Structures are given as C-alpha cells and as structure tokens.
Structure 1
Amino acid sequence: MKKTAFSMVTIASVLFYFITTANAVGGDYTPVPKSADTQSAYINKLYEQGGKWYITVDPIEWYEGEAANKVFAEQEPDSGLDEAPDGYYIINGSEETATFEVNAGADVQMQIFDHDGNPEDAQINWNEQITLSKLAELLTTEDILSVSDYPYHVTIHDGKVTKIVQQYIP
C-alpha cells in the first residue's frame, strides 16, 4: 500500500511539474512554420532496414492559436467551451499511415524528453538536436513522459524525410 501511495504521489508531482513548466515557458515557444513540404503527424514507427532509415506516420491536422479556436468551434460546437483547450487542436480524421525513407542526416529536434530515466528531471530544451537512432530508441520507451504521444512536423523533400520536429504540447 505504501508503494502504491508513493507511486501516485510521484506521478502527481511529475504531472504538476509539467503543467507549471508549460505555463512558465509559454513566451519562449515559437510555432513550427507551415510549408508545402511539412506534414504534421504522429510517428508510428522509426526503423533502420538495409542500411536505410524509414518512418511510418499517421498524418494529422495541427492547429494552434486563433486557427485552433476556429476549427475547435466548428468541430466541437456542443463542448461548452469558447476556445480550444491549451491553445491547440488536432484532427486525426483517418487511420491511414504513410511510410517514407528518412535521409540519414535528417535534422531531428526535440522539445522535451526523458534524458536520464527520471521523468522528474525532464526539462524543456527548445529544438534540442538528437540522432535518428536516439529518436527510434525514445519512441519505443514506455515512460510517464512518452515521446510517442507527441505530434511531430515532418519535412519531406524529393520523397525523403529531411527534418523531424517534435511539437511541444502544454
């Protein structure tokens, strides 16, 4: 019983930390610029095969700010809310996935992840660069702070992914 209570207190503390951290860093956040080559998506799988990297994604529609409020009002008219919670809104209208080859030198930028096995120590480091192999490892790690729960912005040039940016969510 003590172990369960300790675990619940630890989880509650971690969640409180992330909530207060998200509110404290709002001014440092810069949205990922939208472009014709960038697709917002959840990453289903990132793997190496035959000396090449591949990524399987579930495309989504990502909205933030006033655009999120507008789409939220259209999609959720009976919610009782005047605007999108936390300033963003995601539409994942299809279960279809897409697989792309990833350029071996792709730019991978993270906002927050568990560096040392202690989620309590996780801090926001805007656009922290990591390797493809590190991202693949993080995507298969089941932690309180699971990077597989975050959306990403994937840039594709000539059929290959050249950039992967984790979207910060408060």
Structure 2
Amino acid sequence: MQLVFASHNAHKRGEVQAIMADVWPSVDIVGPKGDPPEEDGDTFTENALIKARAGFIDSGQPTIADDSGICVDALGGAPGIHSARYSPSGEDTDNVSLLLENLNGVTDRRAYFVCVAALVDGDGEVTIERRWYGTIADAPHGGGGFGYDPVFIPDGQEHTAAEMTAEDKNRVSHRGQAFQALAGALVERYQGV
C-alpha cells in the first residue's frame, strides 16, 4: 500500500519509511504532490493535521504527516512548534547555535522532543503524540541525524542522538515511537487493502 508523506524534508521521509517498514513491510512512502501549506497552528497536532489534510486534498491518497520539535524547560518550552524556524535562517546549525546561546550559563538543561504523527484519509483522521526526554549538551557532538540531534542527550545515555545509529534512534526517538504506533494502527485500519 502507498501512503503520501506530506513533507519535503528528505531526512524525515527516509526515517519514516524505515520506521514504518519495521511494522508494515509492504508500505511504500512517497513524497507530496503540492506545495507545503502554511503551518499556522498553535500546537504540534494542529500543524501535523494541516500538512496531512493538504497532502490528502492534493493527492486523493491516504496521507501521513508529522509535526515535531524540541521543548526546553528553562526556555518555557521554546523553541517548541517554532523549532524548524527558531533562528532567522532556519538552518539546522543556526537553530542549534541560537539554542545553545540562549542556554548559556543555564544549569537546568532538561528538554524533550515531541512528535505528532497524523493520518488523513477518506475515513477520517488519526493523530498520535510521543515524547523523547533528555537534556541539552553544552556543544554539538556527532555527525548523524539532523536538526537538534547533535545537542540532545537522551535520558539514560551518555551520547547525543547524533551519535546513535539510525536504527537505534528510530527505535526509541519521538518520531520512531509515534510512527511505530501509527503504523500499527494503520495495519489494522487497512488490513486486506
């Protein structure tokens, strides 16, 4: 079965394909047909549904999407839904640099990633939220992953998410947990399709 993944982020699409294939080997994840919609929701759930709805309207096919970001306790939950656009450039390295600058001298570095995975199809909508808890490192480490992975140390780990293998990260990350759960729900929803 083919699902549209409403994201132009090739890193995310590759992660989601690998995550969902572990639960649903026959699923084929393809990119969106239209331009990305404006993500003007106030929550991760609202933004995930905005993308999934737009993808479904553009393609007519069942569409999945996610909205994710990092929330830092000492910054009142920022960057939150603005994680991808935290710095003026929106580039990963600039976002990470601004986050570290804003945490300069801060000892409470607790944070968590949030991912809301969404499905929109002709039968309705499904959303699943998962979180991944940890702390923010003092400096980036590792060359894997993307986004804030080089500065996020998951609880119980000594290394950043960017130092994990893709397989290990997909098994435990916010996105991994959300899309594993969504894949399980979709297998039941589409059994026999």
* TM bracket, shorter-chain basis: under 0.3
- After TM superposition, the score normalised by the length of structure 1 is 0.23
More strand by percentage: 1
Structure having the higher Rg: 1
